[in-house]
Each structure stands twice: as structure tokens, then as C-alpha cells.
Amino acid sequence: MIRDILMYMDRTYIPNTHKTPVHELGLNLWRDNVIHSSKIQSRLLSMLLELVHRERTGEVIDRGLMRNIIKMLMDLGSSVYQEDFEKPFLEVSAEFYMGESQKFIECCDCGDYLKKAELRLNEEIERVTHYLDVKSEVKITNVVEKEMIANHMMRLVHMENSGLVNMLLDDKYEDLGRMYNLFRRVPNGLSTIRDVMTSHLREIGKQLVTDAEKLKDPVEFVQRLLDEKDKYDSIISQAFSNDKTFQNALNSSFEYFINLNNRSPEFISLFVDDKLRKGLKGVSEEDVEIILDKVMMLFRYLQEKDVFEKYYKQHLAKRLLSGKTVSDDAERSLIVKLKTECGYQFTSKLEGMFTDMKTSQDTMQGFYASHPELTDGPTLVVQVLTTGSWPTQPSITCNLPAETSALCEKFRSYYLGTHTGRRLSWQTNMGTADIKATFGKGQKHELNVSTYQMCVLMLFNNADRLSYKEVEQATGIPASDLKRCLQSMACVKGKNVLRKEPMSKDIGEDDAFFVNDKFTSKFYKVKIGTVVAQKESEPEKQETRQRVEEDRKPQIEAAIVRIMKSRRVLDHNNIIAEVTKQLQSRFLANPTEIKKRIESLIERDFLERDNNDRKLYRYLA
């Protein structure tokens, strides 16, 4: 109003004489005489702080009045607002929240404490919107964050029975989400959560992969790993807003503990074997893809991918040859995934196995077309396997019954007549047979057996009683296989087409065998079990290990030569680093082994040592 009355003076006189404008002069006088008056200044401040305190303790205050007073202080200049109100307000708030956090942390569990902290934070943000300066928001929230969260971070995370580990164990998504959102506001908050989560994960992962009890069933073992991964994936996506750094911590933890157990590659392959044999029956295509993707995710964590390949190849061979795979599509889908992950070399042999199966069908059609007279007798189905593509099996010959050996000879001459320069060796240990049998009371059954079991059973067409020695002599089957094969026919209830004397669980050298005339089964077709893919015994494991180590040698040498060809001269440590890096997609190369391969290449004149510096190598073209 005064400015309006003195408008002419304000517009003409003041600019020319450089005096203070009327409105500003009025505010300055108001500030110096009223707001900064000794009787008013401290009283006003204590009233304002008192009102804020009352509001914090749950009373309702006149927010309109507060807003007007704060606005008045701000109109007098930001320094007045800051000095006369904001600074003392922040100091008092820090004291208030220090006391409150102390009280809460003594009596609340972690989840409740975080709820209270979140509530206080939101209250302060709301207070700013109602009657404080917008710029105060960052300052007051910093006070609450420091006093209620940053100062108690470690205690909250490690709180007994309710801290972070308990939240993770009990899947408390809401509490975890709250902890994540509050801790991300303070320095090192997220790294604190991440470190505790990582060490907890590594601890339980280590227990999972080293507990002998849990290693008895490979399928269960892998399922547990997948369940653990699913659990943490959903925690990270639901509570930690898909934070990439948490995802990386999860991945590095899994990679750490999966490789603590050197049987992980074998177990993952057995898990796939179980799923593709029977576990995926009646499962939709999408679900099959989900399971295969999960397997691939575990595969990525493996450092020894070549060991997995070895086992996978063995298991795939058994599935294909026994016709036990649930779906060819699923098999091929997994091979495509492996190819994408590891390149063409990794899967070329696996793809070759499928090609052989397809070619064998065509070969059999050709064989029967050229021998129409064979349609009446026993039928033969041969799978011709390329030596390089399939897992190498020692070629064990056994004496086939006359009926089948004549057929096999005909097939051999047909095959070698149509293909030049090839050799056929029969892998009798991998085949199966269907034979018709008549038991005591004229009961007829069709028995599905292995080739070895067929050779044994056919002997009983011409004899009632045979000793173990006689069976061994007549069939020529290796002792360990023969014992397993007799065991499955004489000692398994419901499959005991033979009986033995004396009756016991194991097969002895002095046992005698008879046809079990009393054999009955409610099924016409009876499958007599053969031992499917299962965990390897210790000697077999050692043998596979040795084969893997042998296969690695040429790969390491090839990598060294590739590197040296492009670099020409390189020192020892750099070669080791480069080779390890090149081969890590297949396995973790052992520095000692790399050193041996370098020595071997020097002996064979691929490389030479530098005359002055023994750690330098030169490539010899």
C-alpha cells in the first residue's frame, strides 16, 4: 500500500538517485525492527520449532499459520530463512532423529525399524511440501537418512533373527524392497546389502555343492541349484528393482560355488539326460524351452565346459541308441543353444550323431529292399555310427546266436558293397533286442532286453541248466558286464526270467542258472532293465578326467601357436594370460599344463627361447 502511495517517487526519483526501492526498504525495516528484535527473534524461532516438534509427536498444528510465517521469512531473503529458521531446524531435527533411532533400534526388529524410518522420511518430505522451502527437502531428508539409516546400517543388516540374511531366507520381498530403497539413499548402502547377500549366497552355495548327502542324486542336486537361482532372481527383480550390480553379484557367486565341485559338469548333463528321457513328457513347448534355458544358464557358469561336453555326448548317445529321448525337437533345441554359446566346433560332433541316426534309417530301408527274402525271420535294425562323432567305446565282441550272426554278416556284405573304404566293427554292448519267450504254463511274453541279455537267454533254448562259467564261455561277454546282465535277469523282482542257485543278490562264479518256469507278469511286453546313465564310479571318473586332459593338450598347443604366429615374440607371462583368455569359453587352462605344452612345442621346433632372456619365446615359421 505504501508503495502505491509513493509510486511516482519510486519510479522517477529513486532510479536517478540510486536509493533503495520503497518495497525493499519496507522489508528491510520490517526485518531489522521486528523479526530481528531481541524480544521477538528467539521467541519466534522457539515457537516454530515447538510447532514442528508437536507435529512430529502426533499433534495437529495450524499448518496455514506456519506456511505464512515461513513465507514471510523467505520474502525477507533466503539468508533470513536459512539463518533464522533452517539451520536451527536441521540441528534440532538431527538431535530428535538420533534419539528416536536409538530408541527404535533397541526395541524393534529390522523390518519394523525400516517401516518407521520410511514413515519418518515420507513425513519430512510432506512437511516440506506443506510449509517449508522446496530447497530444504534435500537437507532434511539427508538428516533423516544419516541419523536413521547410515549410522545404523551394519547393525540393521546383521540384526539377529531379522536382518538381511533372515529376510533372504524367508523371501520377505516387501522388507527387502524397503531396505533397498532406503539404503540406496545413503553412501555405500547398496554395496553393504550386496556384500552381505554375496557372502550368504556363497556360504549356502558351498554347502549345497559339498554336502555328500546332497550329492547322492545328481538330478536333485541340479534342481536345488536351479531353485536357489530362481529364488534369488525373483528377489532381485521384485525387491531390488532388477539392479544390474546385484545380478552380477548373483552370477559371480554361482560361478564360484558351482566350480567348487568338479562333478558339476557331469551332474548337469545327468539332469538334462533325466529331463530328456522322461522328465519332459507332457510338458508344453514353452516350458521345455524354459527348462533348457535354465540348464544353459548353469552351463555358462561352468569353467570346464569341455567336461560337460564329454558327458553330454555319452548321455546323448545312450538316449539316441535306446530311442529313449522324449522329443527330438528338445534335443535339437539344446544343441542350437550350445552352438550359440560355444560355437560350431562344440556341437559339430553332436549334430553328426543325429545325421548318423537319419542315415541309418535310409541304409536299413535299402538293405531290406535288396534282401526281400529276409522278411519272415528275425529282423535286424543297425545304427551305423561314425567313429569320430560318437563317444569312443572299446570294441567288445561277444558271440551272437547263430540266427542273428548270419543276418549281421549279410548286412556287413551289403554295407561294404555300397560303401567303399569303410570298416564295420559291431558294438554289441550298446544294442537291444526283442525276443519272444514261452514259460512254464504256456505263458507267452515278449522280452525287451539288451544284446548281451539276448545272447544269454538264447542259450537256454538248448539247455535247462547252465553254470556261470558255461555262460561266460559260450557268450564271450566281459565278466563285469555279464554279472550285471545276469543280475538284472535273475535277481530283480518282477523281471526274474531266470532263477539261480544259490539264491542271493550278487552273482558268483559258481552259480547255476535255470529258466524261471514260474515267471509271471501282468504285461505281455516285459522290459528287462539295463543300467541307464548314472553317476560314474570313481575309476570311470578318473578315466573320463584323463581323456579330457588328453583332449585339452592339442587345444592348448593350437592356442599357443595361433598367438605366437601373430605376435612373433612374447614373454612367458603374457603367453599364459593370452592362452587362458582364448580357452576360457571351453575350460580353465592350468598354467603348469600350458608350460608343459610350450616345452613340447620348443622340442618340436615350433618355438625357441631367446638366447639372452630365457622367459622370451620366438615363433619359428
| 217/213 Cα distance (integer angstroms) | 9
Q: How far is it, in rounded angstroms, from Cα 512 to Cα 501?
A: 5
Q: In 419-537, where does DSSP find H-type helix? A: 451-459, 468-475, 479-490
Tell me what pLDDT residue 194 has: 93
Closest CA to 179 of 168, 170, 202: 168
Nearest to 302 by CA among 348, 333, 263: 263
> Which sequence spans correspond to the domains of the chain?
35-170, 189-356, 357-418, 432-527, 539-619
58 by Cβ neighbours in 10 Å (0-12 / 13-18 / 19+) ranks as exposed
Provide the pLDDT for residue 64. 94
Look at the domain 432-527 and name its fold. Ribosomal Protein S5; domain 2 (3.30.230)
Whether 223 contacts 268, CB under 8 Å: no
- The number of beta carbons lying within 10 Å of the beta carbon of residue 502 is 8
Helix (H), strand (E) counts: the chain: 28, 9
Contact 579, 556 (CB under 8 A): yes
Output the CATH code of domain 35-170.
Answer: 1.20.1310.10
35-170 and 189-356: identical CATH topology: yes
How many Å is the Cα radius of gyration of the chain? 40
CB 279 within 8 A of CB 325: no
C-alpha to C-alpha distance for 357 and 371, rounded to whole angstroms: 21
Domain 539-619 fold = Arc Repressor Mutant, subunit A (1.10.10)
| Residue 73, burial from CB neighbour count under 10 angstroms (0-12, 13-18, 19+) | buried
Residues forming a β-bridge with 449: 433
Superfamily (CATH) of domain 189-356: Cullin Repeats (1.20.1310.10)
Write down the pLDDT at residue 532. Answer: 44
What's residue 83's pLDDT? 92
Q: How many CA atoms lie within 13 A of 66 on its CB side?
A: 22
Contact 340, 301 (CB under 8 A): no
d(CA 325, CA 353): 14
CA 387, 388, 391, 395 dihedral sign is positive
**Average pLDDT, consecutive stretches of 10 residues, N- to C-terminus, the chain (621 residues):** 91 91 91 91 94 93 93 91 94 95 91 94 94 93 94 91 90 93 93 93 90 82 91 93 93 91 88 81 80 90 86 86 78 87 81 87 88 80 84 74 85 87 82 85 85 88 86 85 82 80 79 84 80 57 76 86 88 89 82 87 84 84 66
Pairing state of beta strands 444-450 and 432-438? antiparallel
Q: Give the sign of the dihedral formed by CA 327, CA 329, CA 331, CA 333.
A: negative
